[in-house]
Amino acid sequence: MADDIEIDTDALQRRMDGAMNALKTEFASLRTGRASASIVEPILVDAYGQMTPINQLGTVNVPEPRMVVINVWDKGMIAKVEKAIRESGIGINPVTDGPLIRLPIPELNEERRRELSKVAGTYAENAKVAIRNVRRDGMDQIKKAKGMSEDDQKMWSEEVQELTDKAIAAVDRALEHKQQEIMQV
């Protein structure tokens, strides 16, 4: 009988949790008020023929509340790191001083807060897309399971949908919390 056919909902849950963890990492880069080394974590630099995180090209420090300093180890990479920061959309203009790249964190005005809120929304939408892709994979597994009764298919489909709904709700809560944090003066 088809009673022994199961869909690995734990694997689906882990993948959805992975999307949520990626979202939290991206949200950490949207620090408001204080400088944080995590603001440059999602920025990738075209270095040595591949995309490399900034923290693998230099030391990232926060010497004061409104300043992030990157000490680039390879002097040939300074221009590439600076360009990647400018093009990243974090809204900070890097200042190069020898091997150091300084990122002065400006006071947030209302317009910049709205921009950051939109960026947070984009990050959340990307996480939702990733979660929906996991849902689609789960539904495909159910459809491809040979010998599964219609009742079992319906039961597994509802379980996958429930996982998806919970993950999407968690993304929405995280986005709402982050937007409140950003808009707080």
d(CA 72, CA 68): 13
Q: How far is CA 98 from CA 22, 44, 45, 69, 71, in A?
A: 33, 21, 18, 12, 9
pLDDT at 37: 79
pLDDT at 145: 84
Q: 1: pLDDT confidence band, cut at 50, 70 and 90?
A: very low
pLDDT at 5: 64
The CB density around residue 78, as the number of other CB atoms within 10 Å, is 20
Instruction: For residue 81, count CB atoms less than 10 angstroms from its CB and return exposed for 0-12, middle for 13-18, buried for 19 or more.
Output: buried
Which two three-digit tokens encode residue 35?
């400088």
Across the range 16-28, mean pLDDT stands at: 89
Which two three-digit tokens encode residue 117?
């809120």
pLDDT at 4: 53
Model confidence pLDDT, tens digit, residues 57-93: 999 998 888 889 999 998 888 999 999 988 887 778 8
Model confidence pLDDT, tens digit, residues 111-161: 878 888 898 999 999 999 999 999 999 999 988 888 888 898 899 999 999
Helices 9-28 and 110-144, axial angle in degrees (round to 10): 170
| Dihedral-angle region of residue 28 (phi above 0 means left; psi in -120 to 50 means alpha; beta otherwise) | alpha
Is pLDDT above 80 for 108? no
pLDDT at 7: 78
Q: What percent of the chain has pLDDT over 70?
A: 95
Enumerate the β-bridge partners of residue 53. 44
pLDDT at 174: 94
pTM value? 0.67
- The overall average pLDDT reported for the chain is 87
